[in-house]
A and B are shown apart, each in its own frame.
Chain A
Amino acid sequence: MALLEVRGLSAGYGRARVLFDVELELGAGEVVMLTGRNGAGKSTTLKAIMGLIAREGDLRFGATPLGRLEAFEIARLGLGYVPEDRRIFTALTVAENLQVGRRAPRPGLPAWDEARVFALFAPLAAMKERPGARMSGGEQKMLAIARTLMGNPRAVLLDEPSEGLAPLVVRQMAAALAELKRAGVSVLVCEQNAQFAARLADRAYVIERGTVRPA
């Protein structure tokens, strides 16, 4: 049975429809890529799953239907979310950002703590006390992922991890993603840069004009 199951998902902003009947699933330990041109509805799909925008459809995480849950309840079930625009708390330091994401470890999954995320994203270790506002885009991106990992998620929705990053950082990001996969975290990753995630992904979907098909 899939860990995350999405059936007939429709969503939009106000009366602008963005998603029409999206169907996808994510198995335990799987890395699945969602590709498509910008404006196609990738980010909207992730936000809709996370309960951050109004949506309709049948959504399940494990055995739990997500339809009526609030975002914080969905997060507590073990579904992490890393937004495209990072949304670091800019007034908070790196360590404080991590603290916001911290949750109790989940049985059967390796527990993430500061030391472990710093091992994954080495540059962050050197700037524990730096406020989010004074970090580069790439550093913020790492922090956004690290912050979500602190919640010990079973699955992560990862929106455009490589967007706007220098090639070197993209490589670091790819290594981090591989490490996540080894740790048994399921990942649904949106990516425009198909080369980036293709090597890691077990499967891929293509989203076009608000509908999804397997690649």
Chain B
Amino acid sequence: MSGSALLLQFLNGLAGANSLFLVAAGLSLIFGVSRIVNFAHGSLYMLGMYVAVWLAPATGFWAAVLLAALIVAATGALVEIGVLRRLYQAPELLQLLATFALVLIVRDFALWAWGPQDMLGPRAPGFGDAVFIAGAAFPRYDLLLIALGPLVFVLLHALLTRTRWGTLVRAATEDREMAAALGVNQRWLFTGIFGLGALLAGAGGALAVPREPASLAVDLAAISDAFVVVVVGGLGSVPGAFLAALVIGEVKAFCIGYGYSEITLAVEFIVMAVVLVLRPWGLLGKPLPAPRGAAAVEPPLGRIDRKAALALACLAALLAGLPLAGDEYTLVLATDILVFALFAVSLHFIMGPGGLASFGHAAYLGLGAYGAALLLLRAHAPTEAALALAPLLALGGAALCGWFAVRLAGVYLAMLTLAFAQIVWSIAFQWDSVTGGSNGLIGVWPAPWLASKSAYYYLALLVCGIGIALLWRALGAPLGYTLRAGRDAPLRADAIGIDVRRVQWIGFAIAGTFAGIAGALYAFSKGSISPETLSVPRSVDALVMVLLGGVQTLTGPAWGAVLFVWLQDELAREVEYWRAAIGAVVLALVLVFPRGLAGYLKERFAR
């Protein structure tokens, strides 16, 4: 690469850093004050894009940018007042889930309002042409963005350091409780900071319109980029977000410049992982203070006694009889249910007893599915071998991600696992020659002896049944108890000879492997596989299944999967915007039962 090309890539990176910074700064500010990681922040960015594209023909570009930012800011403030304000005392997991429900709702709203096609926006008047830098053409608009990033940073810095409001924000970021003891009303502070964060995200989206089309995939791409930026920069630090946005912007620009756009996310992930290991709180962040007050005590996990074992055996026998009674549609649905029951139980294994809530569990489902399809189509392996070996790919992925994951907790863990899943997704999505890109792989049909729906159903029943039984058994064995010990009281566990990270890593790898088994079964049952299998919404599906059934119950997650897959099947047939419907259901559950459905029932019946 020549010197001038290098310079251009460098400038390109700076321009890209602008929108990264705007999104990440908002996310970071919101987190700093409220301790909530707003998953929907990428959705606000996407909303900014769509609103700007939509308004521009009527109002002109610059007015559209301004209006889009204001509309998104108002949306953010309303979301805080209507939803998040009710959740500040709720467990972290439910907060994350609620903001994710918003992602689903916003995405379907955009689909309803603007349709599935990408929408190209106008160019900025006066900035539509190119300038020549070192003999090469460079978009004039990008120069504007390069200047805008530092300008916003300076303005934001001034707002935070020169105004009383900014002083209160910084005080609350450092010590919320002490600020309250001095009479600072946090409610309005929180609404304000959400509005400001949303304003920045909306502006970032609107300003990105001349560079890229508005599309429905922008939300998750933006949020996973923003996660990487805030983790690298340090949650809660605006200068950190600025620095990290520059770093990540350059990483992206140079990966693309050198023709390796496929590995951009992977490189980002490596940067993030290295930073997390060396400086767990980011480049300019500070360690989060430990939550004040006593930790939550988890209830005991259920046990399968003789009666329950008998009931489950009866159920298995009943299920074995299904092909005699059901039609093909029922059998396919039942196979799906079995596969997702195993998937949910595998997530529960590490999330409930292990205490590590993975927001990217679909990565391992997808690795299993792609592994099976690739073994069959590319290596021409027989069905049996493909099914048996594919989970090893999931094991590898889980061992890799898990090694980092067990060093983190809470929101950092959620962000890392989500970012990892997004990377696996983007590899599947972009590596056309191997994975078939966005179309995926077709013709993943099993060997003739498994070709009939009933034969395959029996296979799924057998494999999933055994898989679930093994996982449940392990939870009643020392392994499961050791996981719980590490979750309940890490200090105590360490003080009686338990290597907490090690047992969590083992648990993470086991969970990933069983998700991979489910994925391999899934690929052959569908006959095709697409990146959608390992997308982030799929990961969240699994979380919802587990939460529906109850995180701290043994068999609950399996029932949660049954309910969820059935509900999804019904909704997908009856309702056009079923993703939003699921989002609304999740939001309602979280708002009505902020301690979880199972927790509510338990409380109810304990009285």
Contact = CB atoms under 8 A, between A and B. Distances in A.
Contact of A100 (B171, B177, B185, B294): B171
B182 interface: yes
Contact of B182 (A15, A53, A70, A147): A147
Contacts of B168: 100
B181 A100 contact: no
Contacts of A151: 182-183
B319 to A, nearest CB: 44
Interface stretch (A25-33, A83-91, A162-170): A83-91
A8 interface: no
B3 interface: no
B164 A71 contact: no
Contact of A72 (B174, B186, B295): B186
A71 B174 contact: no
A72 B167 contact: no
A6 to B, nearest CB: 17
A97 B182 CA distance: 10
A191 to B, nearest CB: 20
B174 A91 contact: yes
Contacts of B170: 89, 91-92, 96
Interface of B is mostly: helix
A10 interface: no
5 contacts: A71-B177, A89-B171, A92-B174, A97-B171, A99-B167
Residues of A in contact with B, size category: 20 to 34
Contacts of B570: none
Interface in B100-139: none
B180 interface: yes
The 9 closest A-B pairs by CB, nearest first: A14-B294, A75-B183, A71-B180, A87-B178, A72-B180, A100-B171, A89-B171, A101-B182, A76-B183
B179 A100 contact: yes
Nearest to B163: A99
A124 B251 CA distance: 46
B125 to A, nearest CB: 42
A204 interface: no
A101 B294 CA distance: 28
Contact of A13 (B164, B174, B186, B293): B293
Contacts of A13: 293-294
Contact of B175 (A15, A76, A87): A87
A141 to B, nearest CB: 14
A81 B181 contact: yes
Contacts of B74: none
A75 B182 contact: yes
Contacts, number: 65
B581 interface: no
B167 A92 contact: yes
Interface string B149-174: 00000000000000010011011001
Contact of B180 (A75, A97, A148): A75
A75 B294 contact: no
A87 B289 CA distance: 12
B293 A100 contact: no
A103 interface: yes
A72 B174 CA distance: 16
B506 interface: no
Given A99-B164, A100-B168, A100-B171, A53 B293 contact: yes
Contacts of A91: 170, 174
A62 to B, nearest CB: 16
A100 B174 contact: no
B181 to A, nearest CB: 5
Contact of B183 (A14, A52, A83, A103): A103
A50 interface: yes
B258 to A, nearest CB: 40
Contacts of B181: 50, 52, 71-72, 75, 81, 83
Interface string B286-319: 0000000111000000000000000000000000
A15 B297 CA distance: 11
Contacts of A76: 183
B184 interface: yes
A207 to B, nearest CB: 21
Interface in B447-484: none
B169 to A, nearest CB: 10
Interface string A12-42: 0111000000000000000000000000000
Contacts of B185: 72
A151 B184 CA distance: 10
Interface in A45-60: 50, 52-53
A14 B186 contact: no
A148 B182 contact: yes
A96 B174 CA distance: 13
A13 B181 CA distance: 19
Contacts of B182: 72, 75, 81, 100-101, 147-148, 151
Contacts of B167: 92, 96, 99-100
